[in-house]
Structure 1
């Protein structure tokens, strides 16, 4: 399975988990230290957005430039907001990478990485 198919499978696996999150659970703790549910969702959306920006960036024009991918917190939003925000960000990123292709280098978090390195970036395990 290639990187984009793996990412699409990961999004599909997230859908049932994210769809069960209710607004009263947004302030609940997660296994990740320092992150409640809303914070972890925001972090995930931010990281996915950075991956999309990497696909869209012109390497020579953007070398060394760091963009902020901050997003508003989810506190008090509708129950489907986590699902909608994460899947929308993921679909946008996947679309950008399909247009770009997965060959060569790209900027991610201010560093030039082989594109395979971006797709393999994982969150630290608790």
Structure 2
């Protein structure tokens, strides 16, 4: 879980950056990297095809969440848009990380964390 928290913090910081381009692809790449990392902890490599499929799905989901965040920010006065975007990114990445860990924990219930990864 500590790695999921770190990915969530990194995603929040990335989402808060005032970039002229969309951050959706970058956040999806971060989430796919988290998926691969957690798979490595469980000694189960995710593989290129699954990573590509997950990345595509996460990018589509991210585009939808960005639309929701943009609409939510339009109702809030002042420069708090960065905070809202960062919060949404952190919550989403944290949720995805917990779901990934839940999947692997269900699949490997007696797996002990390997600090060598």
TM-score by length of 1: 0.39
Which has the larger strand fraction? 1
Which has the larger helix fraction? 2
TM-score by length of 2: 0.41
